[in-house]
């Protein structure tokens, strides 16, 4: 049984430690799940970006339901935040889908780029949600991206990438 408290000594029964099985020629299931989640999040990000640009600023802003007429400064700030969210989602969605396409080859660089893009996309979508320019679909993007990274960096996926990329730590237990 794996220990309850983390130590420097790895327990062979702990599934969250270094992968000790054989790496096959096929990419592991966890990396495949991470790939599909990353693609689903990228598609949702593209849809959010394009729909936000197409719809533009609504007639009644979400934060101005008590105000008779919103001043031009508030409308301009809302429109600016909406454009930032939309273009960020479009650009980050395209980069994420391009990086995820290299997961099956075991590319370290692709996983690093996907991690950086995921961090940026999580920030942008959470900020857009809390500012009020994005809806619940942005939270769905955040959840999909977090789980995509979780699966893309599992021990069996790490072993596959290390084997394909020629890791110097290969064989260290």
Q: In the chain, which residue ranges form alpha helices assigned H by DSSP?
A: 29-55, 72-100, 108-131, 136-152, 155-165
pLDDT of residue 157: 80
CB contact set of 27 (below 8 Å; sequence gap of 6+) = 103, 104, 106, 157, 160
User: What pLDDT does 160 receive?
Assistant: 80
CB 81 within 8 A of CB 128: yes
Q: Which two tokens stand for residue 23?
A: 């790496």
Average pLDDT, integer, range 10-32: 69
pLDDT band at 135 (very low <50, low <70, confident <90, very high): confident
Residue 45 has pLDDT above 90, yes or no: yes
Task: For residue 104, give the nearest of 15, 16, 34, 19 by alpha carbon.
Answer: 34
67-119 pLDDT, tens digit each: 555 577 777 888 888 999 999 999 999 999 999 998 888 888 888 999 999 99
Does residue 50 surpass a pLDDT of 60? yes
Would you kindly state where each structural domain of the chain is located, as residue ranges? 29-58+71-165
Say if residue 66's pLDDT is above 70. no
Per-residue pLDDT band for 168 (boundaries 50, 70, 90) equals low
The CA distance from 67 to 65, in Å, is 6
What global pTM score does this model have?
Answer: 0.78
């Amino acid at each position: 049984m794996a220990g309850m408290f983390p130590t420097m000594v790895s327990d062979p029964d702990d599934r969250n430690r270094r992968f000790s099985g054989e790496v096959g020629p096929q990419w592991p299931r966890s990396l495949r799940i991470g790939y599909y989640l990353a693609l689903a999040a990228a598609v949702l990000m593209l849809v959010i970006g394009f729909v936000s640009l197409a719809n533009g600023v609504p007639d009644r802003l979400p934060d101005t339901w008590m105000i008779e007429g919103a001043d031009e400064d508030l409308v301009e700030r809302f429109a600016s935040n909406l454009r930032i969210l939309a273009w960020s989602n479009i650009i980050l969605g395209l980069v994420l889908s391009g990086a995820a396409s290299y997961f099956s080859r075991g590319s370290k660089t692709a996983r690093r780029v996907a991690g950086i893009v995921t961090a940026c996309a999580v920030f942008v979508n959470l900020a857009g949600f809390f500012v009020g320019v994005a809806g619940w679909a942005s939270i769905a993007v955040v959840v999909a991206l977090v789980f995509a990274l979780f699966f893309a960096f599992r021990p069996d996926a790490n072993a596959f990438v290390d084997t394909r990329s020629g890791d110097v730590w290969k064989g260290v237990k």
